[in-house]
Structure formats: C-alpha cells, structure tokens
Structure 1
Amino acid sequence: MKQIYFLTILLLILSCNSKKEEVSSTQIVQGLYTFSEPGVVFGQPYLFTAPSGVVYLSWVERVNEVNKMMYSELSDSNWSPPRTIAFGNDWFVNWADYPQLAAFEDGTLVAFYLQKSSPSTFSYDIMLTFSSDGENWTDPFALHDDGTHTEHGFVSMLPWGENMFFTWLDGRHTSGGGHHNHDHGHGGAMTLRAAVLNTEGAKLVEWELDDRVCDCCQTTSSMGVDGPVVFYRDRSAEEVRDIYWVAYEGTDWSSPMPVYNDFWEIPGCPVNGPRSASLNGQSAVTWFSGAKGKSTVKTAFFEEEQNLYGEATLIDLGKPTGRVDMLMLDDNLALVSWMEEGGIYLRTVERSGQKSAPFLVGNVSGTRSSGFPQMTDEENHVILAWTDDSEDTAIIKTMRINKNLLTHP
C-alpha cells in the first residue's frame, strides 16, 4: 500500500463575529497519512480508542467487486502496516452503515461487516469476527439469531467491563420490505436491539430496547454511571423522527425518552444519526435535525439531578449537512465535528452552552461517497479520518490535533 504524507497548510479559524483569521496549521494540526493505492477505492473509515489507549483505524478497500476490511494502529505518530480482517464479494457496503473494529479490555479485537443473506437488496446480516493477535481471525458468525432475510445494521460497540456491548437496528419484523416499504408502513417496524458478548463470542444477554425506530440512522452508545446509554433516531406513528435515549439502570433499561423535542416530521429516513461521548460517567450527545425546514446541529449534556438531557446548544453555522461526531474533553466540555458546505468543522462547547469559534479542518465533496468523518481520542491529541473522493479514486486522509491548542469558549 502506498501511503502519502500530507500537511494541511492553513487552518481557517472563524471568530464569533464571523471575521476570518488564518493560523498556521503547524500550531494546531499535524498531518498524518493519506491511505491510497492506484486502482483501489478506499472508504468507510472508522476510528476507535481501545481501553488500553491504542488508537485503531479500520476501513474498506474495493477492487472490482471484492471488498476488503483493513485496519491499522497508531504508534508514535505513525500508522502500522495495514492488516486484513476479512474480504468478500457478497458484502453490503454502504456509505452510512460501515464496518467497524473495537477492542475488549484484555486487547482482544472484534470487527463486524455486513453480508448479504439473500438476493434482495435490503437483506443482510451483521457478521462478527474475533482476533487475539490481530493476525488470525475467527470464522465469522451473525450477531443476531433471528434467521430472517431482513436488514440488520447500524451497529455501535462499547467495551463494558471485560465484555463488549453491541447495539444495532434489527429488521426481523419488517418481512424484508426494504427502506421504502418500512417508511410507508408496510410490514412491521424496525427495532433497536442490544446484546453483551464476551471475548469468545458467546452472547451473555440480549434485549429489545425500542420496538419502533427510524430505519437507517446510526446508533451510538456511551458509558453512563450505571452502564451503557444508547442514542438513536426514533420514529413515531406520526413520522416524527427525533433523537431518543435509553439507559441501563443496574438491572434493566429505562423507557425511551427524547433527548430534545425537535419535532422533525419526515416521511423517510434522513440517514443522519447521533453521536455520543462520555467521561467519568458524564455524557453528552450531538445530532442533526431538519425540523421546520431548517438544518441544524445541536449538542446537549446529561443533567444527572433531573435525569434528562439539558438545553440544546446550536453548533452549526447555518447550513449543515450533519454527519456528526463528538468527544468529551472533560466533564463539562465536549468537542463536536460536523459537515457543512463542503467542509469538516470542529468547535468546543461547554455544558453551560458557551462555545468556541468553529474551525475548518478539511474539505470534502459532501456526496454520499465522502461518508461520515470520524474522530477519536489519543491522550493529548484528537485523531480525525475522512474519505476524500475529490479525485478519480477515493482515498482516506488522517490528521492529529493537539488538545492543548484547541480554543475553548
């Protein structure tokens, strides 16, 4: 694989009064590598920080009809030589529902990808594979055991003690209707499910968390005081699709509750899920909405005394496309990323609602193939990755930002 070193020359800082100030990127940003190879289409990057602190990047390479899931780990500012996790010509590869890699507390790796279960377009399974050494991977098996030829995807993985917590959208009640039929009331509804697996791949417990959710928006989970908190896009009988949350409360799950009442009524899935983060049991969530014909990105922090998510803070600049991500920098401060008018923007936001000036870290086409930019935590740095499809063949860019140089409100 050819890896091309790149440097971002300028970082554009947008001040609160919209005046523009240019700052040398060497003050804040360190370019890492661009993953590319002639004749290979790169895409679907995903970043994950293991409990040990190791940062992993996974992605998909496509040559002709064969898809290959690859990964690398970051060490001393360099990505390790890429390794293959799995490959196949019967995968369901989607710009928004992408394979991911995670690590257990003991270092065991687990990855998933989507494999077609029948000739139907919207019929695929979540396939898991495990590795104790990063080289040898177990035979894949399905996370779910319903055996239906329906949609299963939009997985989030979260280490939970010595085990791994999984959340996913499960179409077992939809009778294979596909997105179009789901959105227009034919068949049953998409559901939200969760399970806990150990390092051997044994399923310890499984739950249905919500029996009617939006069909194709990402799920996300972060660790609360008593266990995982799951965020997702709900779907009411009136086609209101706002962000909801459920939390593990020690022995069972809370009832689904809205994070914030956007009242976004939309007849189809917007393919734009939330992202959450937590630190020391303190969590926050960020999301996209198109309610009342206006696109927005908002962030809210959990208020423990009230057992709800507080006032939503507007994050965007006025014309966002969403595709959000976030990190917690301390108990009361988050870093949010989003896409807007061909750019990837970041800004910090406090629990109080105060926010820093936004800054531009990269340019993207905004097409579906540009995917969802990713962000993760590495000690004193933030790692970013995204797909650049501006040339004939898509590539993956990565960069690192020094946390100490991020502007605060």
Structure 2
Amino acid sequence: MEPLRVHELAPPPVGEGSLTPHLAVGEASPPVLSWLEPVEGAGPTGASTRAGTYRLRVARLDGEAWGEPATVVESDRFFVNWADFPGVEVLADGRLVAHWLERGGQGTYDYAVRVARETDGGWSEPWTPHEDRSPTEHGFVSTEASEDGYVMAWLDGRNTGDHGHGTGMSLHGRSVAEDGSGVDVELDALTCDCCQTDMAWTERGPVVVYRDRSPEEVRDIALVRRRPDGTWTEPRLVHQDGWTIAACPVNGPAVAARGSRVVVAWFTAPADEPRVLVAFSEDGGDSFGPPHRLDGGEPVGRVDVVLDAGGTALVTWVEDVGAEQAEIRAVRVAPAGPLGEEVVVAETRSARASGFPRAVAQDGGALIAWTDDAAGRVRTARLEWGAPR
C-alpha cells in the first residue's frame, strides 16, 4: 500500500483574512475553490459570526496553481459564520452555481439562502430556494449537479417561529431545473440545529446526510435519497450511535458516492467518548456495514470524505493535540477498514476560527482546503497515493 503524500499548492489568490473555503469539481471541469474575504469594516461580532463587507470569490485550478479569482457577489449583508458557509457546485455544462447566506433585519439568526448561476457575462440575479420567508435560520446548504440542473438541501427554521434559536429545525430539499423551477419539499421535520448537511450522487439518485434529532434528544446521523420519480425516501439512520445531547455539537457528517457505493464519515460522542467513524453502503444507502473508528482518541471532528475511482475512501478530520493546538489528519479507508497509517496534512487550531477543512477527489488523489487562522488566509494541498505525479 502506497503511503499518503501531502503536497501543498502555491498560495491561492485569496485576500488577507480569507476564510470558509469550499471545493467542488465536475466531470470535465478543473477543481474550483470558493471563499469569503473581507473588503472593509469586517470583524468578529461574537465567537461564531462576523460583520462588515465581504466578497464571495472563486478560482479554478490550472495545473498546480490557482487561476485568477472572480467575484460572485460583494455585500455587507453576508451572514459570515465559521460553520455555516458558502459553496459552489460545478454543473453539467461546466458552469458554476453558488450559494451563500444573507442576513435579514430581525436578529442574529434571521438569514436566508441565496443562489446565483454563472453566466457568460458574470452571474445571474440571486434568488432564494426556500419558499418560507420567516425571519428564522435557513442554512447549512449542500448541492449536487443533475443532468438538467441541480439539487439542493438545507436546514430550515420555519417551524421554530417565535421559539428562538435551537428548536425545531427541519431538513428541506429542492430539485432545480435549468429554468430555475422546482418545489421546496420537507425531508425531515426535526433535525439537529446547526450541523452541516452533505450530498452525493449515487446510481439511484442523490443522497443527503445530516444529523437527525429525536424527541428524546438522540442526535445520530441519518440519510434520505431522492427516488427517480422525484419523491424522497423516509429518513433512516446510518448507524445507531445513541448519542443523546441536549444541544447542537456543530459537527455535521460527510458523504461521497460512486455507483451504488456510498461512504459516510461523521463525528459522535456517546457516553462522552468523542470519535470519528466511517461506514460503507453497497446498495445506494439503503443499508450500511459496521462503522470503523479512525481518530486518535481526541477528535474535534469537522470531517470530510471522498471516494476515488477504485472505491476507496479518504477521510479527513481535525484531531486535538493539546493547548488549543490541533492537526488536520487523513487516512484511506476500504470497507474492511483503514489502509495504512494516517498522515498529518497540516497543523491547525481547535478554535472555531480555524473552520472546517474541505476536500474533493481529483486525479487519483484529493485536494483539501482549510483556513489557517494564524496566517489569516486559506491554504490548499494535494493528497496523493500511488505513482507520483
């Protein structure tokens, strides 16, 4: 088994204070990096959020270096949050669709999802995919391209009403056609409040993973899949961890898929024992094998996962090493268990400002992006295995 190799790429074209990186790749498109960077008056308004004017920017990878950046939107109304961040998806025609969060006027957690599509002359007018316009939370978006558009999922606060932040979030989805049409559908009436969703495309349709929430405050990872007729399956658990916690851990799952193989990675902590787990499905997400534990005993979580062309997964996560220091770690995993030793991708911090590292599969390896909060900028690296490039 060839060891994992880490090769940091040339610095991406990001401004000082850049944060919330996200990666996407298409069938015939180079990888795309998106991020937020401050323009003026930017600064923290609390432990989790920032205010000021920001730009959402994108750049495409050209060989071993990132190309010139383009601005999707510049605004003083971004909801800038360490865990709930913008992203892009590469559509079937190679163009991008971008999503971000826009603050309303009625409190910290009044914000909406905004979406724009790349055009010949720039970007389309933004629109909102959720039919609800209440002054509540709408975020933690995931997207996947389809043959004639794209599919979106998000956490929706319409059922929270006046009950305040942290109660009654639900999972919603929308299949968006090329002309922008589509219907907002509730996929799960009660979910964890602020854990990321993730989506991947299987041969049986797109699957969405998220942290569920039972009336007894059990918060395990669940999955739904869109059927060919456009309806969605009932939620089912990936694994019964039995993690009961009366608060949101802000630690969502990740999913990747090829054909009928689906792999899900997640953080959990039943009996106050934090761990990073991964499990495989061979039937499009209908059932999963026993999970494998990957962490070194002190995981922070913040997982991501990719699948290579051979069906082997690469899982990344953040591991605490003491004194507020942490490491971004990665390991390859097969259905039978880990392959080889984990590697340290980069040193980081366990603080919220370090954000969530993001990864995508690319050319027999993977790309990873993360926020280096000590340096005040986004960094990227390639993870390789097999013959050197």
TM-score (norm 2): 0.90
Q: Does 2:9 correspond to 1:32?
A: yes
Take 1:73 and 1:49, find their aligned partners in 2: how far apart are those partners?
9
Query: Is 1:403 aligned with 2:382?
Result: no
How far did 1:332 drift?
4.1
TM-aligned CA deviation for residue 354 of structure 1: 4.1
Match of 2:300 among 286, 297, 321: 321
Secondary structure of the corresponding residue to residue 11 of structure 2: strand
What do the CA deviations read for 1:118-175 (whole angstroms, capped 9, x no partner)? 2311110001111123x51112111112111110000000012221010000111111
- Aligned residue for 2:132? 146
The offset of 1:224, in angstroms, is 2.0
1:369 matches 2:336? no
Deviation by residue 1:334-382 (Cα, 9 ceiling, x = unmatched): 1100000210000011112243211101010121110000111222331
Structure 2 contact 260–283 (Cα < 8 Å) conserved: no
Give the Cα–Cα distance (whole angstroms) in 1 for the partners of residues 302 and 92 of structure 2: 28
- The CA distance in 2 between the partners of 1:220 and 1:37, in whole Å, is 25
- Corresponding residue of 1:11: none
Instruction: Tell me, in whole angstroms, the C-alpha distance in 1 between the residues paired with 2:285 and 2:112.
Output: 39
Whether the 8 Å contact between 1:154 and 1:218 is mirrored in structure 2 is yes
Distance of 1:306 and 1:163 partners within structure 2? 23
Contact 1:224–1:247 (CA under 8 A) maintained in structure 2: no
Question: Is residue 50–residue 105 contact of structure 1 (8 Å, CA) maintained in 2?
Answer: yes
Q: Are residue 311 (structure 1) and residue 290 (structure 2) matched?
A: yes
Superposed CA RMSD = 2.0
Q: Does 1:56 align with 2:32?
A: yes
Q: Do residues 347 (structure 1) and 326 (structure 2) align?
A: no
Kindly provide the CA deviation profile for residues 58-117 of structure 1, in whole angstroms up to 9, marking residues without a partner as x.
000013211110110001111001111101111111100001011210122111110112
- SS in structure 1 of the partner of residue 386 of structure 2: helix
Q: Could you tell me how far apart the structure 1 residues matched to 2:133 and 2:14 are?
A: 38
Please tell me whether the aligned partners of residues 195 and 203 of structure 1 are also in contact (alpha carbons under 8 angstroms). no
Compute the displacement of 1:227 (Å).
0.5
Percent of aligned pairs sharing the same letter: 34
1:244 counterpart residue number: 222
1:331 Cα deviation from its structure 2 partner: 5.2
Q: How far did residue 305 of structure 1 move?
A: 9.5
Cα distance per residue 1:252-303 (max 9 Å; x no partner): 2221111011111111110000000011231110000011100000000013
Q: Aligned partners of 1:259 and 1:74: how far apart in 2?
A: 34
Contact 2:142 2:197 in 1 (8 A): yes
Q: TM-score, normalised by structure 1?
A: 0.86
Q: Which residue of 1 aligns with 2:159?
A: 173
Distance 1:340 1:354, change over 3 A: closer
Note the residue ranges of structure 1 that are not aligned, 5 or more in a row. Answer: 1-22, 183-188
Q: 1:110 aligned to 90, 94, 97, which one?
A: 97
- Equivalent runs, 1:9-408 vs 2, <5 Å: 28-35=5-12, 40-62=16-38, 63-64=40-41, 65-133=52-120, 136-175=122-161, 177-180=163-166, 182=167, 189-200=168-179, 202-251=180-229, 252-304=231-283, 307-330=286-309, 332-341=311-320, 342-391=326-375, 394-404=376-386
Structure 2 regions of 5+ residues with no counterpart? 42-51, 321-325
CA distance in 2 between counterparts of 1:112 and 1:37 reads 19
2:382 and 2:162 map into 1 onto residues whose CA distance is: 42
Cα distance in 2 between the residues matched to 1:101 and 1:176: 32
8 Å CA contact 2:174, 2:185 repeated in 1: yes
TM-aligned CA distance change 1:305 to 1:61, over 3 Å: closer
